Amino acid sequence: MNKNYIGYRPTWAEINLSNLAHNFQQIKKLVSPGVKVMACVKADAYGHGLIKVARKLAFCKVDFFGVASVDEGISLRQAGLKQPILIMGLLLKKYIHPVFEYHLTPAVCDEDLAFALNRKARLLGVPINAHIKVDTGMGRIGVLYKDSEEFIKRIHKLKFINIEGVFTHFPFAGQDRGFTLRQINLFDSLIRRLKSQGINIPLRHTANSMGIIGYKNSHFNMIRPGLALYGLYPAKYDVGTAQCAVPTFMTKINLKPVLSLKTRIIFVKKVPVGFGVSYGHTYVTKKKTIIVTLPIGYGDGYPRNLSNQAPVLIKGRHFKVCGNICMDQIMVDVGNLPVKAGDEVVLIGSQGKSRISVEELAGLAGTISYEIVCGLGSRVPRLYQ
Ligand SMILES: *Cc1c(COP(=O)(O)O)cnc(C)c1O
């Protein structure tokens, strides 16, 4: 595995691409045959590495990629990926040319952008595929639901825009089942009304990971998993019970985490009682002990508000970060554990029988799993297995 160059600082993330493939298959098992999968690989594939992840998914026969920006789409094309790519975010009118140059599929929810795309496509003599984004309750982007039918009918008249898809997004599939079911109904009713007027949109999609797992009728004929592909559960982690509050309606799904975060002890010291550790001395030893220093910090995206909280694994046992997390270093009180510089430490992942999950860290840091993995910095090399 260690063929990739990771530099001289022993801090790295391991990305298990077999687990990614496993999760992809698990997700496919939840949906009817024929339902397409758009893998969401925005934000550097949630911090896992855009190109490596996309290549593995292409090997697994993914149908579509979903990214946030044109630039992410261009990166995929430059790496040779041939699948259709939906830009799920919006673009400015003056920046539409790369969409044509790189065969990207824009999301459309305003008429000005649609006109600009139509004009450019006419000049080139080739219609462009677009997906219409409808706001059924997310309140972010999308044509407002009440205007959506008329909007789509107007776009449908533009000769050089081919409405290949229509989609919407769920703001709280994990919390409010009634609200989400109403969104699904609204979307379904829009599609029926359009159909009755002869407008058949080939791809209809609503489901993020929580939608896929919890709402069978949200699948339509394409799903958009992100988080679940990376083996993370789209549910709130409860620090009190140390469990993901998986809503009871969630279908059972067996996901395997893809990312592990590891480092090595860089310094060991024996200290007396009353010894202050790190900025602000928020940790002072209560007895004679051993403190180790690890070369990772908030400069790598290891959240500072995990100070005095985050668990780490050394020799298969749980210890806790002590003192404030610094930009490049953290300390751990290991008691009387015999350790030496160079010993491996797991910050996310398994060691022996012990495990630290992204969900657990997110819960402790008062955030969501998404932010933990997306936040891992470029200073942390990714090693692929
Ligand atoms: C990121 C994203 C998804 C994937 O969401 P997950 O919760 O990670 O599965 C789906 N749809 C849109 C529009 C997104 O931006």
pLDDT, tens digit, 9 for 90 and up, residues 115-144: 999 999 999 999 999 999 999 999 999 999
**Of the residues 36, 64, 88, which should be mutated to test ligand 1's pocket, given the most ligand atoms within 8 Å of the CB?**
88
120 carries an active-site annotation = no
CA nearest to 235, candidates 121, 359, 134, 350: 359
Task: State the distance from the centre of ligand 1 to the C-alpha of 26, rounded, in angstroms.
Answer: 17
Q: Indicate whether residue 169 lines ligand 1 (CB < 6 A).
A: yes
Position 1 pLDDT exceeds 50 = no
> pLDDT of 207-219, one tens digit each?
999 999 999 999 9
CA–CA gap between residue 154 and residue 300 (Å, rounded)? 48
Reduced to 3 states, what is the DSSP secondary structure of residue 278?
coil
Q: What are phi and psi of 313, to 5 degrees?
A: -110, 125
pLDDT recorded at residue 240: 76
The mean pLDDT of 283-302, rounded to a whole number, is: 98
pLDDT recorded at residue 176: 86
Reduced to 3 states, what is the DSSP secondary structure of residue 375?
helix
C-beta of residue 186 within 8 angstroms of C-beta of residue 194: no
> pLDDT of 147-199, one tens digit each?
999 999 999 999 999 999 999 999 988 888 899 999 999 999 999 999 999 99
**Of the residues 135, 224, 232, 370, which should be mutated to test ligand 1's pocket, given the most ligand atoms within 8 Å of the CB?**
224
> pLDDT of 240-274, one tens digit each?
777 776 666 666 789 999 999 999 999 999 999 99
Determine which one of 42, 56, 133, 262 is catalytic. Answer: 42
pLDDT recorded at residue 175: 82
CA–CA gap between residue 306 and residue 326 (Å, rounded)? 11
CA–CA gap between residue 216 and residue 208 (Å, rounded)? 12
270 carries an active-site annotation = no
